[in-house]
Amino acid sequence: MAAALLDRFLSSDGSSYPADFQNILNLMSVSKSIGTSSEEFIWKAYSFGKEAHKGQLRKSGEPYFSHCIEVATILAEMELDPVTISAALLHDVIEDTGYTNKDVEQEFSEELAHLVDGVTKLSDIKFRSEEDKQAVNFRKMLLSVADDIRVIIIKFADRLHNMRTLEHLPAVKQRRIARETRDVYAPLAHRLGMYRIKSEMEDLIFKILEPKASRDLDRLMSKRQVFFEKYIQKFMDPVKTRMDASGIEATYKSRFKSRYSIFRKMRDQNRPFEDVYDIYAIRVIVKQVEDCYSVLGLVHSFYKPIQERFKDFIAQPKANGYQSIQTTVVGPDGLPIEVQVRTIEMDRTAEEGVAAHWQYKERGSKTTQDDIDQQVNWLRNLVDILQTEDTTTSHQFMDLLKIDLYKDEIFVYTPKGEVRILPLGATPLDFAFDVHSQVGIHCIGAKVNGRIKPLNSNLVSGDKVEIITSDSQKPNSSWLKFVKTSKAKSNIRKWIKGQEFEQSVHLGKEILEKELRKISKAKEWKHLKDPYMTLKFESEEKMIASIGSGHRTVTSILTKFFPDEYLNPKPEKTESQFAESFLKRARRNTKGVSIQGIDNMMISFGKCCNPIPGDPIIGFITRGRGITVHQKTCDTVGSNLVEKERIIDVDWSAAKAQKFLVRLKVLAQERKHLVRDVTETISAYDINIDTLSMKVDGDVVTGLVIVEVEGVKQLDRLKSKLLASDGVISVERE
Ligand code: MN
């Protein structure tokens, strides 16, 4: 059927191609001629698409297929491969015409059908304002992209053309599509290095979402255009002369940075257009990498570089493949101007990003695939996290994405000189998790360029980072507040979740055993065969954890197996004869603790954990020594004391003022006057120091300080004050 249709359109000699098709061919063969069979393949796709969309119109009144031609043209400008161009011509066939994916596969190829299918599926994903839906859809999109990145490249071109022609839609719809492009497509294009598409998208978004600012800016820019053209000539004339003399073949172009980025600078720096200097850039394009450095030297010999603005992305490419030398120099009349120097190939990659890989090499070759893999490494990492982790909430997921999408990168080195790429603002902890999750989990600090830095300090490009680990170190939720990478975040969350589960199992076990003893069914319980299965739990552990976490009550579980105990309860047994009699007897001074509402109790505090007011605590009834109060988290209570019925609830009673001993472990970088500063800090709070010892190991100092404090609040204040002093890495309660 389709074949018959096609015959009418197939042209035997190229001379009669329609102009729009010929244009696509011309664009594709700028740097490399395309073979006859490829040409026929694309022509077939063109004819098929045109016939399939026959009679359909766009909102603008044009034939629908003109949109498909435009999408293919955008991709042809990027010199993408024939299959991608053909898929672009057919990208709406399945969605909008009667043809199925099978038809496309039979008529063309599996590869092409796969691309068209991918784009169709992507188009089904709608991003609406509700964050939940958006996250789910973003996830779907990333998973489909991981399969063949060309799917998203076609989708970008599709979206770009739709953005270009938005004016035919109602205003509300225009804004919705613009916002969706801003939130989803532009950042993703940025991350994949497709700057040209990204900046055109951003300019179009800007025009729709900020129409007035956009018009104003246009006016200001066209006023300055002439000035800049003259200025650049003045700037480049001497440089060009010297380049010619040295035999360096180079071309240069200059232009305003994108409207949207200028607008952002004006807004962020709160400056008028005239005062934002970083709006105009010169790009010098050379043939060979060596020439980049020669040109850089020339430019610097005429104009003074601004040191901190110099970036060599040739030596250290960005993760998305971007390579270029960037330098900002003080030009004539003291005007700072940015100069980018790169080769032709680097320029392509900088403009087209991941798409550049379908331009130069034959598709399917091993090296190309490796390159692509490297380019989309970030994407694959993210997809890995999505697949392995049980779904974090959508909110968290969007946060992960935003972090990785919008942040720029820094390059830091391992002690062996390996480069790691991390987002801007990354901390030693991000670095540690990037090396290995176990390194992250046990990380207590890091030596950055030989100096010890705290976990939450910010790394900068060029830092050499050596991680210090300790087996006793464990992640805590405060880490989530400062780590930047999704890898670190998801690992910390996973660890905390696992920890919570362990605690629930531990507590659940206690509750269950206590209850079994109470109803005297411990033995019977042991002989039951897999009781968790009866209750439809996945495992024994999960059942017990559900008791510990409070999702199920122990009674609701045991009723199922011992109904008599609960339907006809026996008279209440003494929970603990011992505890009862003790409670009646001991009514002495409480030392600030109240026990189950009773105040007069003989109290001592566990030497193992030294609880202080404000800590969650638990009491343990001792023979003859009253009640020992421990922290709820104290290992001694958890492990050594078998008789759980001797444990009772206790609370801090606010009335009594008393001092408590606390042991603090201070980790710091060795420096002059460290001991003096630490002691002065403590004394400033009117806190007594009981004991102080310092141990120096290399350039790390471990200090053990025992102080007398009034409670948790005072201790917390002291801790943060200590942490703020120079060289102090961590302050932990022991
Ligand atoms: Mn489309």
- Is residue 21 situated within a structural domain? yes
Identify whether residues 246 and 318 lie together within a single domain: yes
Residue with the bigger pLDDT between 673 and 442: it is: 442
Distance 65 CA to ligand 1 centre (A): 9
568 pLDDT exceeds 50?
Answer: yes
pLDDT value for 212: 93
pLDDT value for 178: 92
Distance 80 CA to ligand 1 centre (A): 18
pLDDT value for 575: 43
pLDDT value for 165: 94
Range from 129-143, 254-268, 663-677 carrying the lowest mean pLDDT: 129-143
> How does strand 626-631 pair with strand 660-669?
unpaired
Distance 68 CA to ligand 1 centre (A): 6
Residue with the bigger pLDDT between 555 and 699: it is: 555
Q: State how far the alpha carbon of 346 is from the alpha carbons of 298, 320, 360, 714, in Å.
A: 20, 12, 12, 58
Distance 92 CA to ligand 1 centre (A): 6
Q: State how far the alpha carbon of 551 is from the alpha carbons of 195, 283, 508, 509, 684, in Å.
A: 50, 63, 11, 14, 47
Q: What is the average per-residue pLDDT within 513-531?
A: 86
- Is residue 380 situated within a structural domain? no
Measured CA to CA, the distance from residue 67 to residue 50 in angstroms comes to: 11
How many residues make up the chain in this entry? Answer: 734
Range from 81-90, 119-128, 129-138, 628-637 carrying the lowest mean pLDDT: 129-138
Q: Which structural domain, as residue segments, surrounds residue 335?
A: 218-366
End-to-end Cα distance, the chain: 80
Residue 399 bears catalytic tag: no
Side-chain-side CA neighbours of residue 133 (13 Å): 8
pLDDT value for 209: 92
The pLDDT confidence band at residue 416, using thresholds 50, 70 and 90, is confident
Q: Please enumerate in sequence order all residues whose Cβ is within 8 A of that of 703, keeping only pairs 6 or more positions apart, or say none.
A: 664, 665, 666, 667, 668, 675, 678, 692, 693, 694, 695
Identify whether residues 285 and 337 lie together within a single domain: yes
pLDDT value for 431: 94
Q: How many CB atoms lie within 10 A of CB 733?
A: 15
Distance 158 CA to ligand 1 centre (A): 5
Distance 75 CA to ligand 1 centre (A): 13
Count of domains forming the chain: 6
pLDDT value for 514: 87
> How does strand 280-286 pair with strand 336-343?
parallel
Range from 170-174, 248-252, 385-389, 409-413 carrying the lowest mean pLDDT: 385-389
Q: What is the average per-residue pLDDT within 454-464?
A: 84
pLDDT value for 365: 45
Measured CA to CA, the distance from residue 664 to residue 567 in angstroms comes to: 53
Identify whether residues 673 and 632 lie together within a single domain: no
The pLDDT confidence band at residue 93, using thresholds 50, 70 and 90, is very high
Judge contact between 61 and 78, C-beta under 8 A.
no
For the chain, the maximum distance between any two Cα atoms, rounded to a whole number of angstroms, is: 110
Write the pLDDT tens digit of every residue in 611-631: 776 777 887 776 666 677 777
Distance 196 CA to ligand 1 centre (A): 19
Identify whether residues 273 and 327 lie together within a single domain: yes
Side-chain-side CA neighbours of residue 348 (13 Å): 15
Range from 137-141, 175-179, 182-186, 473-477 carrying the lowest mean pLDDT: 137-141
Measured CA to CA, the distance from residue 82 to residue 93 in angstroms comes to: 18
Identify whether residues 284 and 354 lie together within a single domain: yes
Range from 163-172, 613-622, 720-729 carrying the lowest mean pLDDT: 613-622
Nearest to 283 by CA among 317, 253, 310: 253
Of 605, 627, 652, the residue at which a domain comes to its end is 652
Nearest to 145 by CA among 398, 318, 372: 372
264 pLDDT exceeds 60?
Answer: yes
Please state the φ and ψ torsions of residue 554, each to the nearest 5 degrees.
-65, -35
Residue with the bigger pLDDT between 714 and 401: it is: 714
Distance 67 CA to ligand 1 centre (A): 7
- Identity (one letter) of the amino acid at 83? V
DSSP string, 535-598: TT-S-HHHHHHHHHTTSS-HHHHHHHH-HHHHHSPPPPPPS-HHHHHHHHH-----TTEEETTB
Residue with the bigger pLDDT between 52 and 141: it is: 52
163 pLDDT exceeds 90?
Answer: yes
Measured CA to CA, the distance from residue 398 to residue 266 in angstroms comes to: 27
404 pLDDT exceeds 90?
Answer: no
Nearest to 362 by CA among 78, 32, 20, 64: 32
Distance 46 CA to ligand 1 centre (A): 15
Residues with CB under 5 A from ligand 1 (ion): 92, 158
Identify whether residues 238 and 356 lie together within a single domain: yes
- Stretch (H or E) spanning 649: strand 647-652
pLDDT value for 280: 85
> How does strand 728-733 pair with strand 311-312?
unpaired
pLDDT value for 361: 46
Identify whether residues 729 and 673 lie together within a single domain: yes
Of 133, 168, 203, the residue at which a domain comes to its end is 168
20, 40, 77, 96: which is the annotated catalytic residue?
A: 96
62, 95, 132, 373: which is the annotated catalytic residue?
A: 95
Judge contact between 121 and 99, C-beta under 8 A.
no
56 pLDDT exceeds 80?
Answer: yes
Of 428, 449, 479, the residue at which a domain comes to its end is 479
283 pLDDT exceeds 70?
Answer: yes
Measured CA to CA, the distance from residue 290 to residue 271 in angstroms comes to: 39
Measured CA to CA, the distance from residue 561 to residue 145 in angstroms comes to: 51
- Is residue 381 situated within a structural domain? no
- Rounded (10°) CA dihedral 48, 49, 52, 56: -150
pLDDT value for 561: 87
Write the pLDDT tens digit of every residue in 641-652: 446 667 777 776
Tokens in use for 618? 């638990």
- Summary mean pLDDT of the chain: 80
Measured CA to CA, the distance from residue 452 to residue 728 in angstroms comes to: 9
Q: What is the CATH number of the domain that holds 249?
A: 3.30.460.10
Distance 157 CA to ligand 1 centre (A): 9
Judge contact between 42 and 80, C-beta under 8 A.
no
- Is residue 382 situated within a structural domain? no
Measured CA to CA, the distance from residue 52 to residue 97 in angstroms comes to: 6
pLDDT value for 349: 83
Side-chain-side CA neighbours of residue 665 (13 Å): 9
Measured CA to CA, the distance from residue 212 to residue 218 in angstroms comes to: 10
Measured CA to CA, the distance from residue 549 to residue 545 in angstroms comes to: 6
Identify whether residues 112 and 39 lie together within a single domain: yes
Identify whether residues 523 and 608 lie together within a single domain: no
Q: State how far the alpha carbon of 37 is from the alpha carbons of 33, 43, 83, in Å.
A: 12, 10, 11
Distance 89 CA to ligand 1 centre (A): 9
362 pLDDT exceeds 80?
Answer: no
Measured CA to CA, the distance from residue 28 to residue 76 in angstroms comes to: 5
Judge contact between 622 and 616, C-beta under 8 A.
no
Q: What is the average per-residue pLDDT within 14-34?
A: 83
Q: What is the CATH number of the domain that holds 450?
A: 3.10.20.30
Residue bearing tokens 């922290």: 631
- Is residue 689 situated within a structural domain? yes
Q: What is the average per-residue pLDDT within 581-585?
A: 45
Dihedral sign of CA atoms 431, 436, 438, 439 in order? negative
pLDDT value for 391: 46
- Residue 462 in 3-state DSSP? coil
- Is residue 281 situated within a structural domain? yes
Distance 96 CA to ligand 1 centre (A): 9
Identify whether residues 136 and 276 lie together within a single domain: no
pLDDT value for 582: 44
pLDDT more than 70, % of the chain: 78
Q: What is the average per-residue pLDDT within 56-63?
A: 90
Strands (E), 205-270: 250-256
- Is residue 609 situated within a structural domain? yes
Q: What is the average per-residue pLDDT within 187-193?
A: 80
Nearest to 329 by CA among 284, 287, 269: 284
Distance 422 CA to ligand 1 centre (A): 35
Residues paired with 95 in a beta bridge: none
Q: How many CB atoms lie within 10 A of CB 192?
A: 25
Measured CA to CA, the distance from residue 509 to residue 102 in angstroms comes to: 57
- Is residue 487 situated within a structural domain? no
Residue 510 bears catalytic tag: no
Distance 84 CA to ligand 1 centre (A): 14
Q: Please enumerate in sequence order all residues whose Cβ is within 8 A of that of 47, keeping only pairs 6 or more positions apart, or say none.
A: 5, 6, 9, 10
Q: What is the CATH number of the domain that holds 57?
A: 1.10.3210.10
pLDDT value for 159: 95
The pLDDT confidence band at residue 155, using thresholds 50, 70 and 90, is very high
pLDDT value for 245: 92
Distance 91 CA to ligand 1 centre (A): 6
Q: Give 332-371 as a 3 state SS string.
A: HHHCEEEEEEEEHHHHHHHHHHHHHHHCCCCCCCHHHHHH
1-5, 12-16, 170-174, 599-603 — most confident range: 170-174
236 pLDDT exceeds 90?
Answer: yes
Judge contact between 371 and 353, C-beta under 8 A.
no
Residue with the bigger pLDDT between 50 and 578: it is: 50
Task: Print burial letters for 248-273: b (CB count within 10 Å at least 16), e (below 16).
Answer: bebebebebbbbbbbbebbeeeeeeb
Identify whether residues 503 and 473 lie together within a single domain: no
Q: What is the average per-residue pLDDT within 700-711?
A: 82
Distance 329 CA to ligand 1 centre (A): 44
The pLDDT confidence band at residue 296, using thresholds 50, 70 and 90, is very high
Identify whether residues 72 and 94 lie together within a single domain: yes
